[in-house]
Amino acid sequence: MIIRKSKKILAILLVVALFGGTAFAGEKAAGEQKELRYNWKVDLVVTGIAATGYVITAAAKSQLLPSDCRWCDVNSFDKWGRDNIKWGDTGAANKAVYVTGYALAPMAAFGLDALAAGLDERLSDFLPDALIIAEAAALSSFTTELVKIATGRQRPNAHFGGGSTSPRDNNSFYSGHTSLAFSLAAASGTVATMRGYRFAPLVWGTGMAIAATTGYLSIAADRHYLTDVIAGAVLGSAFGVGIPYLFHRPREETSHTSFSAAPVEGGGLFTVSGEW
């Protein structure tokens, strides 16, 4: 019964992710190809600072996380999610989530963007695209670590097990694998859409399917609650869409203004017309 319910929930997550991603791409992907705004020096510095911050906080997490959970209670929604999604073999799910979150998600984000650019004969756009995608993912991941440290939520396997035995047991909110996967999927999809790549829907659909699977597996592994995964999906997607759109959306086309003047019959006045 639990397995059947678990499969249904995964199917729902996949449908929502696929529909949301491909709908966002819409017809714009088939439109005029655009040039994005970026600055190599600035964007490399921002990406480097965010990535360094992530590495430092992740490495020092045992010292930064509280030894006792700050957020220990479990609501009925999260308990329902755990009861219906958690696998009997949580170890297998935990291994799988590392594959989808840390291997398949980056491969799909960067690989499919390169494929979409290449099929449109714009492979030279891939490096700027990759920088923008990496920037969004790095900022999302660093933010995730800061929130984890601030909230100190107890993981479900610790809460329903023997309690927290180390600070890393208080590292549940929100899901880092999920936020990374969704930030990569949303960033690569947004970039492909803004570029006008014909295969932007493929980038969105594949990335979101992997991201949804990653979120599902995070719960199946008993490492995160349903609300951890939902928050990771929402905030990861927010970074994935927001960073490219707010800071890198296509340059406005140069306005073309022209004026013409002609004498008015019977007088010395001129009429002026223009287009811009």
Residue bearing tokens 């600055």: 39
d(CA 49, CA 146): 14
DSSP per residue, 186-247: HHHHHHHHHHT-TTHHHHHHHHHHHHHHHHHHHHHTTSS-HHHHHHHHHHHHHHHHHHHHHH
pLDDT digit string (tens) for the chain, length 276 residues: 544 555 555 555 555 555 554 445 444 444 466 789 999 999 999 999 999 999 999 999 999 999 999 999 999 999 999 999 999 999 999 999 999 999 999 999 999 999 999 999 999 999 999 999 999 999 999 999 999 999 999 999 999 998 889 999 999 999 999 999 999 999 999 999 999 999 999 999 999 999 999 999 999 999 999 999 999 999 999 999 999 999 999 876 434 444 444 555 555 544 444 443
> At residue 65, what is the residue type?
L
Give the chain's largest Cα–Cα span. Answer: 98
Domain of 234, CATH number, reads 1.20.144
Closest CA to 187 of 129, 121, 104, 127: 129
pLDDT given for residue 238 in this prediction:
98
- C-alpha R_g of the chain: 24
Say how many domains are in the chain.
1
Contact 163, 59 (CB under 8 A): no
Range of the domain at 116: 2-275
Query: Residue 91 is encoded by which pair of tokens?
Result: 């170890």
Three-class secondary structure of residue 45 per DSSP: helix
Record the pTM. Answer: 0.82
Query: Residue 200 is encoded by which pair of tokens?
Result: 């932007």
Closest CA to 235 of 141, 160, 162, 163: 141
Query: Residue 122 is encoded by which pair of tokens?
Result: 């714009």
